[in-house]
Amino acid sequence: MITLCQFHRIWGLPNASPFCMKVETYLRMVKLPYEVKFISNPQQAPKSKLPYIKIDGKNCPDSEFIIDELKDRYGDELDKHLTSEQRALAVLIDNVFCERLYWVVVYLRWKSDAGWATIKPAYFGHLPIIPKLFVPAMVRKSMVKALDYQGTGRHSLDEVIHQGCKTIDALAQLLGDNPFFLGDKPTSVDATAFSFIANLLMSPVNNTLKQHALKIDTVRTYCTRMWDIYYPDFPKPTN
């Protein structure tokens, strides 16, 4: 049995971490049985990050390496029909979500005061009184510092929204009228795409980027399609 170790669920999403949701979505897409273990403190995890999986006594961290490990062990049924060009495109699409849109989402959740007002009670509301006095500010400071080191944190809110809208528009062009990102069949990159898009459209964190994306019919219907196929046991959030 595979054990998926990830953050606790909030907001009605499978996970508010796109990376945790990416792995759970992939597991559902390839119909591998798994159980979930919820972790409160990522410092307890390998590489001090979530998600990771436990499989045959081995800990495997990082969503990219997890999916590579699962493909090596169980085969690559989702992607076996792809051409070399499509495989290359899948890597680039994954990187756009994980290395570009991710930092935009982090900024809008952690640095933006409006985003922080939604994040703080959801992430830290369960803490005892004393830790609640200092842990949220400490974690926020760490996230803002990471944003600054990466570079996105040095931009204004309007500039980050501009970057996010450009990225969503480009991804929408790639998606086109296809039901999935690489055509008529779902592939592993859809686990990434859906997890990030759902975290943008279906979380209660409201901002101009979310409103922009909601106006793109193909992006909105793609998110609904993936949810209906792979999470029929989860009520859709109404955010």
Dump pLDDT digits (tens) for 82-98: 999 999 999 999 999 99
Among the CATH numbers 1.10.3720.10, 3.40.50.10480, 1.20.1050.10, 4.10.520.10, which is that of 84-230? 1.20.1050.10
Contact 213, 169 (CB under 8 A): no
Cα–Cα distances (Å) from 112 to 117, 160, 197, in that order, read 9, 10, 19
| Residue stretches of the chain with pLDDT short of 50 | none
Output the pTM of the full model. Answer: 0.96
Q: Where are the domains of the chain?
A: 2-74, 84-230
Q: What is the pLDDT of residue 94?
A: 98
Residue 60, φ and ψ in degrees, nearest 5: -125, 110
pLDDT at 12: 96
Two tokens at 43? Answer: 């410092």
Which alpha helices (H) appear in the chain, and where do they start and end?
18-29, 63-74, 84-95, 102-106, 113-124, 129-150, 157-175, 189-201, 208-214, 217-230
Residue-level pLDDT at 18? 98
- pLDDT given for residue 143 in this prediction: 97
pLDDT of 41: 87
Confidence at residue 44, expressed as pLDDT on a 0 to 100 scale: 87
Looking at residue 50, its pLDDT comes to 97
Strand, coil or helix: 188 = coil
Superfamily of 2-74 according to CATH: Glutaredoxin (3.40.30.10)
